[in-house]
Amino acid sequence: MASLSSRLSPITRRRLSAFKANRRARVSLWLFATLFILSLFAELIANDKPIIMQYDGQWYFPMLVDYPETEFDGFLPTRTDYLDPFVQQQIDDHGWALWPIIPFSYQTLDMNMTRPSPAPPDSRHWLGTDDQGRDVTARVIYGFRLSVAFALALTAGSLVVGVVVGGVQGYFGGKIDLIGQRFTEIWSGLPVLFLLIILASFVQPGFWWLLGIMLLFSWLGLVDIVRAEFLRARNLEYVRAAKAMGLPSRLIMWRHVLPNAMVATLTFIPFLFTGAIGTLTALDFLGFGLPPGAPSLGELAAQGKNNLHAPWLGITAFMTLAIMLSLLVFIGEGLRDAFDPRHVQQRQAGPAQETQHA
Amino acid sequence: MPNPLLRIEHLDVTFDSTPVVHSLSLTLHAGETLAIVGESGSGKSVSALGMVNLLPSNASVQGERWLGDTNLANLTETEWNTVRGNRVGFIFQEPMTSLNPLHRVGKQIGEALRLHQGLRGQAARERCKELLEQVKLPRPDELLDAWPHQLSGGQRQRVMIAMAIANNPSLLIADEPTTALDVTVQQEILALLRELRDHHGMGMLFISHDLNLVRRHADRICVMYQGRIQEIGPVEQVFQHPQSDYTKALLAAEPEGRPQAIEHTAPLLTARQLSVSFKRPKTGLFKRQPPAFVAVHPIDFQIAPGETLGIVGESGSGKTTLASAVMRLVTSQGDVTLGKDKLSALTGDALRRHRHRLQMVFQDPYGALSPRMPVFDIVSEGLRFHYPHLTTEEVTQRVNQTLHEVGLPESCAARYPHEFSGGQRQRIAVARAIILEPELLVLDEPTSALDRTVQKQLVALLRDLQARRQLSYLFISHDLAVVRAMAHRIMVLKDGEVVEQGPCLEVLSAPQHAYTQALIAAAHLTH
C-alpha cells in the first residue's frame, strides 16, 4: 500500500521532467535554494561574536552563551563585546577564536570606523556601511532571509485559506457560493495599505503583526481560481461516482477535486510569493513595515534614496531585490510551463527526435 | 472506366517515428461513396486527414496522392488553400464544436464563398440561402441570422454540410458525420448526403465505425485495422463473403444472446411517482418565476432481484436524469424504495450508509476514473470508507478478487487509468461498483463509448455478473442491439415521459407507439 502511494504518478513524473528540461528554471531553482539555505545559517556567516573560542585552555561558545567580560579578565560584568580591541587582544594572548566570515551582525555598529558613515565598500565592509555605521553585507544576508521567510509564511497561509474558501464555494455552489462571492467582493474592497498605516499608529508592527494583517487579504486572489476549478470538477463523472459511492463531501473534495484544482493553484504560487516580497519591501520603504533596526531590504532602499551620495546603498538594495525576484519569476515560469500540458507535449517531442537520431 | 477522382497509392503516415498508417492504396470515382470502416485507433481518420495535409506538424505523410490531375504530394501551403474548402469539402464529427459560436450562420457559410469565389454582400447572401434550402433547413431566411447555439445538433450538422458543399467540391470527406446524433436524425442526414452526392456528382469518402450505416449508405467499403487495409470491395461482397478474419470478427460483433430468465419475486427497487424538475431562471428582475422545466414526468416502475430494466430513448429524453434520481444524485419528487428502506426519505449520513447497496457505472470510461489515482485506490476507495475495520491484506484480497471477476489481471492494480483502453477502463469502473456488493447497479450508457467488439465482451461480462451475483440492473442505452442483449423488460422514454413499456422482445418485435416504431426502424436490428 505504502509503496503504491509513494510511487509518483506518471503525470507528476512528466511534469518533473518538463521542469528539468527548462534550463533557466532549473538553474534559478538551484541558485535560489542555495542562497536561501545559506541565509538560514546567517548567524554562522555574519555575526559579531566568534563561533567558538578557547581561552586559557577552556572552550567557549559565544554564539550560544552570553559570557560577561570579567570572564576574559575585563572590568565590566556586562555582556562581552568581542569587537572591542581590548577583548580581542586578551583572546589573542590567551587562546584563539574562530570568527564568522563577516564579523558583524545586522545591527552591529562598527565603533572602530575611521571614516564617516555611510562608508564606501572596502576590505573591512565588503558592501560598505549604511548611515548608522552598520555593515551592509550582513544586513543584506539577514534581510534576504527575513523577506523569504515572510513570503513563505504568507504564501502558505494564503494557500490554506484561499483553497478552503474557494473550494467550499465552488464545491457546494448555490447559496453558499453566492453569499461567499459577495463577501469576498466586499472584503477585497477594503484598503489594505490604509489599514496597515492606521495599525502602525497604535501598535509597533512586528513580523507577526504584518503577516497577520497581510494574510487577511492576500488569500483573495486565490479564491476565484480555486472556486472555478471546483465548480468545473464537481460535475466530472469520477466526482459523481465518488458521490454515488457514498463518500462524504470532505473526502471527495480532498481526494478527487483538490488534486485537479492544485494545478491552477500551484501555477499561481510563485506570483503570490514575489508579490509578498514586493509588498513587504514597499512597506519598509515607506516606513510602515518592520520595526527600526530589523534587517530589511526596503529600509536599505529607503537609505539609498536618502543618501544619494552613497550609491552602494541603493545599488545593493536594487541588485538584491532584482536578483531575488528574477530568480523567483524564472522558477515560476518553469513551474507554469511544466504544468501546462501543451508545453509538456512540445518538450517531449524534442527529446523523442533526438533519440531517433542517436 | 474513367479516370478516378481520387487515387492514393502506398500512403504511409508516421507520428514522431511511430507509424500509424501502412501503405494505404485506394481509388474513388465521381458519384461514388467509399466507406472507410474500423474501430477507434485503426487509422481511418488519420489517413483521410493525411490525404489532404490536415495533420499536426509532427506527422509525416508519404506516398502518391492524386486528386483528378493534381498531384497532392507536391502542393505548397498556398496551393493547398485553393484545394481545401474548394475542391475538397469536409464534414466533421462534432457538430457542437465545429461551428464558431460567435458568428451567425450566414457569416460562417459566407466566409467560404468569399474566400474561394469572391462573393460578397447580397450575392453571397442569396447563395447562402440557396445552400440552406439544398440541405433542407426550414425557414432559411431566418436561419441565416441565427446563432449556432439556437440550432439543434442535426440542424448544425446540416449547416456544416452547407459549408462543405458551398463551393461545389468534387470530393466530400465526411468523418463520422452522424456519430454524435440521435438515430432518427442520423437517417435524415445520411439520406441528405446521398442526395447531394448524386445531385453534384461528388465522390464521397465516408468514415465510420458503424457497419449498419455503412451497409446501407456506401457503394464500396474499405476495412481498416491497426493502420492496414484488411479488405476493400463492393459492400455486398464484403458483407456476404468477408475475406479477412478481422472483417469476419467485426461482422459478428453485434451483441447477441439474451439474459437469463428470472423468477418473479418481490421487487427489489420500487419507484412511485418519481419525477425530476429543474427551476428555470427568471428572465428579468420583475418578471414572474417561469414554470419549472420537467425533465422526468412522474414514473412508476419496479425492478426484481436479478432483473434488468432497460431504459431506451434519444438524447434529451431524460434517461440519465432518471438514473440520477434513482441514485439520489439530483433532487427529485416521489418515492424510491430499495428492499425495505425508503431511500427518498433519507438524507446526509443515513443515506450515505445505504449508498453501497446501489452503485452506478458511467458512460464515459475516460472521465469516470480519477486520472491521479492508481487502479487499486480507485477500486478500493469505497470499500475502505464503508468498511474501515478491514485490514490492508483483506482489502488487497478483495480488490484482486474483484479485478479477477471483471477479467483484469491483478498486476493492473498498481497502474494508472490512462494506461488502459476504453473497454478495460469500463471494467475498472464495474469493479469499483461491484466491490461494494451492491444489490442494484445503474448502468448509464456503459457501452456507447466503446467499439462493437469491446461492447460485446462487456455485455457478456455484465450478464455473467448478473447471473453469479443476482444483481439487478437499470440499464440505460440508446443502442437497441445492446439493450436487446441485456434487458428483461424495457421502458421507452420520450421527453421525460414513458411512451411504452413491456417485456423486451415483445416491445422490439411489436412496438405499439409511433416513436418506438421509428426508433426500431432506424436501428435496423439484424436477425
- Cβ A242–B381 below 8 Å, yes or no? yes
Instruction: Give the pLDDT score at A341.
Output: 62
* H/E element, B491: strand B489-494
Nearest by CB to residue B381, choosing from A11, A245, A353, is A245
* H/E element, B503: strand B497-503
* Contacts of A166 by beta carbon, 8 Å cutoff, 6+ apart: A222, A223, A224, A225, A226, A227, A229, A230, A261
Q: What is the length of chain A?
A: 358
Nearest CA to B207 out of B17, B52, B423 is that of: B52
Please, what sign has the CA dihedral across residues A203, A209, A212, A216? positive
From CA A231, how far away is CA B326, in angstroms rounded? 24
Q: CB of A7 within 8 Å of any CB in chain B?
A: yes
Please check whether residue A118 is in contact with residue A98, taking contact to mean a CB–CB distance below 8 angstroms: no
* Residue in this structure with the C-alpha cell 462573393, named with its chain if needed: B119
* Residue in this structure with the C-alpha cell 580591541, named with its chain if needed: A85
- Cβ B414–A7 below 8 Å, yes or no? yes
Q: Identity (one letter) of the amino acid at A86? A: F
Tell me the chain B residues in contact with residue A246 when contact means C-beta distances shorter than 8 Å.
351-356, 382, 385-386
Phi then psi dihedrals of residue B304, to 5 deg: -85, 160
B336 by DSSP, 3-state: which?
strand
- Cβ B359–A244 below 8 Å, yes or no? yes
Phi then psi dihedrals of residue A106, to 5 deg: -70, -20
Q: CB of A116 within 8 Å of any CB in chain B?
A: no
- Cβ A247–B436 below 8 Å, yes or no? no
Nearest CA to A237 out of A222, A267, A257 is that of: A257
Omega before A118 cis (within 30°)? yes
* H/E element, A351: helix A341-357
List residues of B whose CB lies inside 8 A of any A CB: 16-17, 58, 327, 329, 351-356, 359-360, 362-364, 367-374, 376-377, 381-382, 385-386, 392, 396, 413-414, 416, 418-419, 429, 432, 436
Cα–Cα distances (Å) from B487 to A195, B466, B480, B503, in that order, read 68, 11, 10, 8
Tell me the chain A residues in contact with residue B360 when contact means C-beta distances shorter than 8 Å.
240-241, 244
Q: Chain centroid to CA B156: how far? A: 17
B381 by DSSP, 3-state: which?
helix
- Cell numbers placing A288: 510602515
Q: CB of A123 within 8 Å of any CB in chain B?
A: no
Render pLDDT for A16-69 as a digit per residue (tens, 0 to 9): 888 888 889 999 999 999 999 999 998 888 888 888 888 888 888 888 888 888
pTM: 0.75
Please check whether residue A266 is in contact with residue A331, taking contact to mean a CB–CB distance below 8 angstroms: no
Q: Identity (one letter) of the amino acid at B160? A: M
Q: CB of A236 within 8 Å of any CB in chain B?
A: yes
- Cβ B370–A10 below 8 Å, yes or no? no
| B470 φψ region: left (φ > 0), alpha (ψ -120 to 50), beta (else) | left
From CA B441, how far away is CA B458, in angstroms rounded? 14
Q: At what angle do helices B105-117 and B153-164 cross, to 10 degrees?
A: 10
- Cβ A255–B16 below 8 Å, yes or no? no
Q: How many CA atoms lie within 13 A of B383 on its CB side?
A: 24
Pairing mode of beta strands B293-303, B269-278: antiparallel
Nearest by CB to residue A236, choosing from B354, B363, B367, is B367
Angle at A214 between CA A209 and CA A216, to 5 degrees: 100
More confident position, A252 or B74: A252
Q: What is the pLDDT along chain B (527 residues), one digit of tens a residue?
A: 567 888 888 888 888 778 888 888 888 988 899 999 888 778 888 888 888 888 877 788 888 888 888 888 888 888 888 888 788 888 887 777 778 888 888 888 888 888 888 888 888 888 888 888 888 888 888 888 888 888 877 888 888 888 888 888 899 998 888 877 777 788 888 888 898 899 888 999 999 888 888 888 899 999 988 888 888 989 888 888 888 888 888 888 777 777 777 777 788 888 889 998 888 777 676 777 778 888 889 999 999 988 999 999 887 788 888 988 998 888 888 888 888 888 888 888 888 888 888 899 988 887 888 887 889 999 999 888 888 898 889 999 999 999 998 888 888 888 888 888 888 888 999 999 999 989 999 998 888 878 888 888 889 999 999 988 889 999 998 888 889 899 999 999 988 889 999 998 888 888 899 988 888 888 777 65
Please check whether residue A180 is in contact with residue A226, taking contact to mean a CB–CB distance below 8 angstroms: no
Closest-CA residue of B relative to A349 is B16
Tell me the chain A residues in contact with residue B16 when contact means C-beta distances shorter than 8 Å.
349, 352-353
Closest-CA residue of B relative to A5 is B374
Tell me the chain A residues in contact with residue B436 when contact means C-beta distances shorter than 8 Å.
245
* Contacts of A112 by beta carbon, 8 Å cutoff, 6+ apart: A83, A85
From CA B157, how far away is CA B173, in angstroms rounded? 14
C-alpha distance from B131 to closest chain A C-alpha (Å): 38
* Residue in this structure with the C-alpha cell 432483473, named with its chain if needed: B307
Query: Exposed/middle/buried for A14, CB within 10 Å: 0-12, 13-18, 19+?
Result: middle
